[in-house]
Amino acid sequence: MTGTTRSSEGLDTRRRKLLFRSWHRGIREMDLILGTFADVSIHGLSDAELDEYEHLLEMQDADLLAWFTGDRPVPDAHDTAIYRKILAQRQSMSFDI
């Protein structure tokens, strides 16, 4: 079970792949953070934002989780607009990871 609430129907191939990768990270906390973001936002991201998102998905889960939880500062190279969108959504979630 992935947890996704969004169907990939109507998405182009690139967005379908990103949606899948967002929900299949390796650790459940990152599935919830990135999967929830993708469910809500993947359809409306520009090509440039998709590029940033793909790059972010290449990072290790442990690093991403530490950045999103504030345990470690996000490196400048990864402190992008898309990172800040995900962080803002994560901070507004009704549950704590």
CATH number at residue 56: 1.10.150.250
Residue 70, domain member (yes or no): yes
Residue 14, domain member (yes or no): no
pLDDT (0 to 100) of residue 59: 96
Q: Along the chain (97 residues), what's the average pLDDT of each consecutive run of 10 residues?
A: 64 93 94 94 95 96 94 95 93 63
Residue 83, domain member (yes or no): yes
Which DSSP category does 6 fall into? S
pLDDT (0 to 100) of residue 1: 41
Range of the domain at 51: 22-92
Q: How many domains does the chain have?
A: 1
Helix 47-57 and helix 13-23, axial crossing angle in degrees, nearest 10 = 30
Residue 34, domain member (yes or no): yes
pLDDT (0 to 100) of residue 6: 63
pLDDT (0 to 100) of residue 91: 80
Burial class (CB in 10 A: 0-12, 13-18, 19+), 37: buried
- Residue 95, C-beta contacts closer than 8 angstroms, at least 6 positions apart: none
Helix (H) or strand (E) holding 50: helix 47-57
pLDDT (0 to 100) of residue 90: 82
Q: What is the pTM of this model?
A: 0.85
pLDDT (0 to 100) of residue 21: 96
Residue 5, domain member (yes or no): no
Residue 97, domain member (yes or no): no
